[in-house]
Structure 1
Amino acid sequence: MDQIILVINLGATSTKLAVFENETQTHGAKLHHSSSALAGFSDIVEQKEFREEVTVKWLTSEGIALESLTAIVARGGLLAPIPSGTYSINDTMVEQLAQGRYGKHASNLAALIAYDLSQPLGIPSFIVDPVVVDEMEPVARISGNPKIERICIFHALNQKANAKKVAHFLGRRYEDLNLIVAHLGGGISVGAHKKGRIVDVNQALSGEGPFSPERVGSLPTDALVHYVFDGGYGKT
């Protein structure tokens, strides 16, 4: 039986959607949301119904019935650190993402919408390589302060996907290659891929590493301390 799969990837101001028939993409769209459209939401999770409605309307406009889907796959959000892979969405995951237990980010919404749409249809829903994929080696967790350990939050899905594309292009197995992969977007992450695992990468969510359109990047400690105290800034 052919597999008809809906893929949902949510960003801060966009909803990216695609439908695959087995391994072939048959439909796709990147829907942008204006600041005014999102201004009425005080919290990321409050956007769920709006983003879900956008998704259903797009499917309808493309002539794709929800009942024709056999699975839904979503970008994974902020969860506890986990290895790279594909994970079934369940009640526990939904609760953690909705509550923002490990942080709030637009990527949290994709799994919530996938689960919400899949349940009445009786079909499975999954996340793949969420932003909390953690394969870092112990030495990569060491920072310059013994009380501060480096953590791993980055663009794992895009990093893994493009590394595997390169491996395919080279006619090699991803697990046999050593690669440096850079994701350049609103945030930037640069990862060291060693034999199929990302063993070191900058924490892109908080802006560690290169500065980018939406992140200030790593700053000189002395200058940052003076900036905060001289400017009278508090923790928030």
Structure 2
Amino acid sequence: MSATRVLVLNSGSSSVKYQLLDMADGGRLAMGLVERIGEETSRLKHTPLVTGGESREWSGTIADHEAALQAVSEELAKDGLGLDSPELAAIGHRVVHGGQAFTEPTVVDGAVLAEIERLIPVAPLHNPANLTGIRTAMALRPDLPQVAVFDTAFHTTMPESAARYAIDVKTADEHRIRRYGFHGTSHAYVSRATAELLGRAPEEVNVIVLHLGNGASASAVRGGRCVDTSMGLTPLEGLVMGTRSGDLDPAVIFHLARVGGMSIAEIDTLLNKKSGLVGLCGDNDMREIRRRVDEGDEAARLAFDIYIHRLKKYIGAYYAVLGTVDAIAFTAGVGENAAPVREAAVAGLETLGLAVDGALNAVRSDEPRLISPADARVKVAVVPTDEELEIATQTYALVKKID
């Protein structure tokens, strides 16, 4: 295959994030974001990396995703990187929910589109936008392979004992209720990169990956395969997040409906958008929360302590699931940048072989690195995630195989 470029698209309900990569060396050629699609004033920010040029910003009206991708194509063309380039091998799309049907990257056809659409009830916030992005790209380049890379795919290796909820089996199967997990491209990339950091093959390493951003999830990865993860049927389950509650007694929902008189829609909004850190202290930015903690703010301190308590519980649980742990890897915005979170998460777990070196933990870097003492039994790592590179890598490997 002579064409080596892959365009990665992450389509949201009113935004499109994109990166153009050259898989000959994994280098980025351009990246950008279109936001506020369909609103009166839309915005496009484009950064050409191959030329070393400055970012370009444009504001105006972008009516829909087709217009957004057309605008992206025009910006890329200004740098000689247009969508009509013969060097473009494929377009890789992030798709949040693939259910049980999609366990690996998949070339999109009519049947694949239909299945992604069928999964909308379990991913109503994400799959519709992902579908729109795919259909728009297919219309612009019908001759080019369009590859769907699923957030859930990495977690399909979970055993049934981890994936099943303890509810009536017939009801669960009829409504596709099970634990799917999310952030899979990040967990795949980081678990593999952690093994590389240790100088070992992924098949030889057990890793607990902590993807801590505004959305947050943990995974237990045994020999390169996920055996458990904290998110479930939806991204609401698990860790305390920026605006999501994470784990809670399901009867809280019944109580809010019966006693609080709240509708299902109101409860949905409460748990997904008004809970987590923002519900506890009014902020979902960990930097601001830490600033408030340092100033003696008790609400911020409690929010931080609850966040760490839940995180520590999952570390302990996944240590038990794996039996033997070689490394814990922190990633994503909070995991990569918030040293106090990393320190607090492993504090008191020395008997499990976990500790951080204060000086190493304080270092800011964009490179994968160990922050545990040299003699630590379990290594603690900070591994910047790269979901776009992971999507591009999986996309390119698939189109090379079928070429």
TM-score by length of 2: 0.49
CA contact (8 A) 1:78 1:97 kept: yes
Aligned residues: 228
* Aligned-residue offset at 1:165: 1.7
Which residue number in structure 1 is paired with residue 4 of structure 2? 3
| 1:124 paired to 2:140 | no
* Aligned-residue offset at 1:25: 2.1
Identity of counterpart residues, as a percentage? Answer: 23
Q: Deviations over 1:150-196 (max 9, x none)?
A: 32131111111122222222222222221111222332221111122
- Specify which of 52, 55, 65 is matched with residue 48 of structure 1: 65
- Specify which of 230, 235, 240 is matched with residue 211 of structure 1: 240
Q: Deviations over 1:90-142 (max 9, x none)?
A: 122223445664533144444334433331xx2222123x0232221111034
* Aligned-residue offset at 1:218: 1.6
Distance verdict in 2 for CA 1:90–1:189, change over 3 Å: same
* Aligned-residue offset at 1:59: 1.8
CA–CA distance in structure 2, aligned partners of residues 48 and 97 of structure 1 = 18
* Aligned-residue offset at 1:84: 4.2
Which residue number in structure 2 is paired with residue 198 of structure 1? 226
Unpaired runs of 5+ residues, structure 1, are: 41-45
Which residue number in structure 2 is paired with residue 18 of structure 1? 19
CA–CA distance in structure 2, aligned partners of residues 190 and 12 of structure 1 = 26
Larger Rg: 2
Q: Deviations over 1:199-220 (max 9, x none)?
A: 1112353401112124221223
CA–CA distance in structure 1, aligned partners of residues 197 and 15 of structure 2 = 30
Distance verdict in 2 for CA 1:75–1:206, change over 3 Å: closer
Distance verdict in 2 for CA 1:59–1:189, change over 3 Å: same
Which residue number in structure 1 is paired with residue 398 of structure 2? none
CA contact (8 A) 2:231 2:238 kept: yes
CA–CA distance in structure 1, aligned partners of residues 190 and 257 of structure 2 = 38
Tell me the secondary structure at the aligned position of residue 112 of structure 1: helix
* Aligned-residue offset at 1:13: 5.6
- Specify which of 127, 131, 136 is matched with residue 158 of structure 2: 136
Q: Deviations over 1:10-48 (max 9, x none)?
A: 3456432122222332323241524883999xxxxx953
Distance verdict in 2 for CA 1:67–1:82, change over 3 Å: same
CA–CA distance in structure 2, aligned partners of residues 214 and 28 of structure 1 = 31
Q: Aligned runs of 1:60-209 on 2, under 5 Å?
A: 60-68=77-85, 69-82=88-101, 84-97=103-116, 101-102=120-121, 103-104=123-124, 105=126, 106-119=129-142, 122-128=143-149, 130-133=150-153, 134-146=156-168, 150-203=178-231, 205-209=234-238
Tell me the secondary structure at the aligned position of residue 37 of structure 1: coil
CA–CA distance in structure 2, aligned partners of residues 92 and 153 of structure 1 = 23
CA–CA distance in structure 2, aligned partners of residues 30 and 214 of structure 1 = 25
Note the aligned Cα RMSD (angstroms).
Answer: 3.1
* Aligned-residue offset at 1:88: 0.9
Distance verdict in 2 for CA 1:84–1:98, change over 3 Å: closer
* Aligned-residue offset at 1:145: 4.0
CA contact (8 A) 2:211 2:217 kept: yes
Unpaired runs of 5+ residues, structure 2, are: 43-62, 266-403
Counterpart code for 1:24: G
CA contact (8 A) 2:239 2:247 kept: yes
Higher helix share: 2
CA–CA distance in structure 2, aligned partners of residues 80 and 186 of structure 1 = 23
TM-score by length of 1: 0.79
